[in-house]
Structure 1
């Protein structure tokens, strides 16, 4: 069975060797047929603490590492971006 791969944005990198990734998906409402956004946060393993808040990353499913971590970061999809950089 293949491992699931998701794309999301790092929203927290405060814990050691862990990042929290927010994954958003767009679904159609069953009654009103409007496209709505659903989001979920995943704790992913980051061995070298290299991924920072604001980066877009790809994560893949893996064997459980801890109580919350069952995902591992594969790669970063873009350069490091912070909200402060866009205000200047």
Structure 2
């Protein structure tokens, strides 16, 4: 049974120093409202990584979930691409 559409983002792991938590940087390209120039905006999300399998540089998909802690509202759904060793 589907719970509804959950938000998902694709980003790169920039930190995995916390236990069962990774920081994922998600970049998006938007047009400047006044001048129209395309700029890259980035946002960092703390995501739950139960298996502690993510390494820095991995490209991952995160999905929205219930609040796990004060800052964590996302969890790692899948690893799209592993970082080069």
- Category of TM-score, reference length = shorter chain: over 0.9
Structure with a larger share of its residues in helix: 1
- In structure 2, distance between residues paired with 1:21 and 1:79: 14
Find the counterpart in structure 2 of residue 28 from structure 1: 31
Structure with a larger share of its residues in strand: 2
The match for 1:66 among 65, 69, 82 is: 69
Unmatched tracts of structure 1, length 5 or more = 83-88
Q: Let me know the Cα RMSD of the aligned residues.
A: 0.9
What does residue range 1-88 of structure 1 map to in structure 2 within 5 Å? Answer: 1-81=4-84
- In structure 1, distance between residues paired with 2:83 and 2:56: 8
**How many aligned positions are there?**
82
Per the normalisation by structure 1, the TM-score is: 0.89
Displacement over 3 Å in runs of 4+: none
